[in-house]
Structure 1
């Protein structure tokens, strides 16, 4: 832990995370910052470059760089690592940090607002057939009117017959639909709040949730009950590999046939073959994935042939407010550290 009164002018910090540089410099003009690597030019430092850059630094502010025991041994003055993401175990050797007396902070929840916005967008997309019909128009499937409209209906240029888009792609209103959230962390809570604005009923399954913190408008249920009751199931778990294929054939069969499935959390939570079967067999109505098991996807990935499936390229957490929130969290962590206090999101130290 840093002692109060330590002069910031003695500190050197290596910043490889994407961050608002000007804000950080204005907050701490006395710290000697070096900005390089991914946050500077979207190119990762090699392990050798990272070791050379961090040799005399007190602080590292990183995002994707692997900081292992060899890096920590090289950076003999290093006392604080701030990683601008929630899950840091894949890039930072936490045991080594503990052995070397290095404090580690993360940015848990920095992209929660972005993910929740995106999830609401996927809900609207699925229930109102937005990207599906856009694709059909661009592929010229819906560009020819099948019959001439009566004079009084000339404003309905797409037709009013049974096969017209107005009838065939009639969507579902969100009011009174039940949204089932699997995981009720930072993102899940914001999804619940925003979905409530649409009049949705919210149920949650999360074995780790503190029920005293759950809003009265949200009902906590067991996982199987959620699958059976929800009109939309949206996944927001943080979990590890122990949750691999938590959504498989059995889980999709428990869901309503007119239910939708959304995953913007981890690709490995889903048995993709089971999801494809569920969609193609009509066991569920539709799905949206922002994450898949293999990224980027190969052009022959079977998911691309599944019915009623929207796929986006792992962008749910990417928005301007993610960068804004991440910068603010770094500044707050530095402020606490320099006061000799334990930062809010400290996980080691």
Structure 2
């Protein structure tokens, strides 16, 4: 006689995952947790072959769910990609097999907003540069007030922050800006002018670029946003304005920004993302004294694992109980496939 336990769906988790969420999922699934891999290889790796072959559902973050993985997983019925956009999953292949692919939107929104604001502060107050200068032993008794003159920055209160993108991260950056007493402008062509009431004005791109003391990039990356900020847009910025990018490098034209920084046509930039990662050791970014850089650490926090585990758990429960998960990347395509079946 088959036990009730063997009738439960088998769940294979290869993403970093919250142990508490794993325990909770055990009431619905037979849970199999694999050691996470950061190689970005196909999920159909030899050491997972037997486990993948019997999995009804998979949760992954870096592993690729490609044709090879799908061929090795004949029982697979549901995939959760622990990303806002499932770039590690072959969506068309999953759709052809009738497999929904859920995502974990806004999993890193809070900590990316923290990082963006950290870049803002470090850039306009020159804290990274001041730390490097001090560690190098330049602060001497002969000129005790030299750093006071050398690292003079601006305050944020009363300044205008221009936010490109009024989504999950942009809204969180806005909350932080308001707490600092800043005025906020938002560019987002999908939002109504009164979306934020008295908190922020939704304006056109040219207005935002010309009126902001600091511009910060938080639009998603797709065809309409690649190169959104080019030479013409940067030329609208004031000479004392700053550009911060903890979002997507390709939104800003690299040479246009480099040129403006090189020629001091804007005051500075803070970058967590780059057009080639990692940048070459001799990249010009490292030679410019008006640039603050961090190595793409916007999502580097255990808080992201906790959050994507929570969102994934909710999606898995909805699927296992016959409901509709909240964020299924190929939902519309699955519906179209079923209509043409």
Q: What TM-score do you get using the length of structure 2 for normalisation?
A: 0.89
1:275 to 257, 266, 291: 257
Say if 2:44 and 2:68, in contact at 8 Å, map to a contact too. Answer: no
Whether 2:140 is the aligned partner of 1:144: answer: yes
Which residue of the partner structure matches residue 110 of structure 1? 107
Whether 2:310 is the aligned partner of 1:328: answer: yes
1:255-274 aligned at under 5 Å gives the runs 255-274=237-256
The 2-side partners of 1:304 and 1:250 are apart by: 25
1:67 to 62, 65, 68: 65
Say if 1:279 and 1:307, in contact at 8 Å, map to a contact too. Answer: no
2:55 to 54, 57, 75: 57
After superposition, the Cα gap between the structure-2 partners of 1:206 and 1:8, relative to the gap in structure 1 and judged at 3 Å, is: farther
The 1-side partners of 2:142 and 2:259 are apart by: 33
1:128-139 aligned at under 5 Å gives the runs 128-139=125-136
Say if 2:114 and 2:173, in contact at 8 Å, map to a contact too. Answer: yes
Whether 2:189 is the aligned partner of 1:193: answer: no
2:93 to 66, 76, 96: 96
Say if 1:9 and 1:31, in contact at 8 Å, map to a contact too. Answer: no
Which residue of the partner structure matches residue 299 of structure 2? 317
User: Helix, strand or coil: the match of 1:347?
Assistant: coil
- Kindly state the Cα deviation for residue 145 of structure 1 after the two structures are TM-superposed: 3.4
Residues 288-335 of structure 1 show CA distances to partners (whole Å, capped at 9, x for unaligned) of: 110001111221112212231011111012212211111111111112
Say if 2:102 and 2:315, in contact at 8 Å, map to a contact too. Answer: yes
The 1-side partners of 2:31 and 2:296 are apart by: 31
Which residue of the partner structure matches residue 25 of structure 2? 27
The 2-side partners of 1:30 and 1:105 are apart by: 18
- Structure 1's consecutive aligned runs of 4 or more residues displaced over 4 angstroms after TM superposition are 6-9, 41-47, 210-213
The 2-side partners of 1:33 and 1:341 are apart by: 20
After superposition, the Cα gap between the structure-2 partners of 1:255 and 1:333, relative to the gap in structure 1 and judged at 3 Å, is: same
- Kindly state the Cα deviation for residue 30 of structure 1 after the two structures are TM-superposed: 4.7
- Kindly state the Cα deviation for residue 178 of structure 1 after the two structures are TM-superposed: 0.4
The 2-side partners of 1:34 and 1:310 are apart by: 43
User: Helix, strand or coil: the match of 1:332?
Assistant: helix
After superposition, the Cα gap between the structure-2 partners of 1:77 and 1:47, relative to the gap in structure 1 and judged at 3 Å, is: closer
Whether 2:180 is the aligned partner of 1:183: answer: no
- Kindly state the Cα deviation for residue 280 of structure 1 after the two structures are TM-superposed: 2.0
Say if 1:182 and 1:235, in contact at 8 Å, map to a contact too. Answer: yes
Unaligned regions of 5+ residues in structure 2, if any?
Answer: 332-341
The 1-side partners of 2:68 and 2:182 are apart by: 51
The 1-side partners of 2:16 and 2:104 are apart by: 13
- Kindly state the Cα deviation for residue 127 of structure 1 after the two structures are TM-superposed: 1.7
Say if 1:12 and 1:59, in contact at 8 Å, map to a contact too. Answer: yes
- Kindly state the Cα deviation for residue 43 of structure 1 after the two structures are TM-superposed: 5.1
Say if 1:289 and 1:311, in contact at 8 Å, map to a contact too. Answer: yes
Which residue of the partner structure matches residue 338 of structure 2? none
The 1-side partners of 2:204 and 2:313 are apart by: 39
User: Helix, strand or coil: the match of 1:146?
Assistant: helix
User: Helix, strand or coil: the match of 2:316?
Assistant: helix
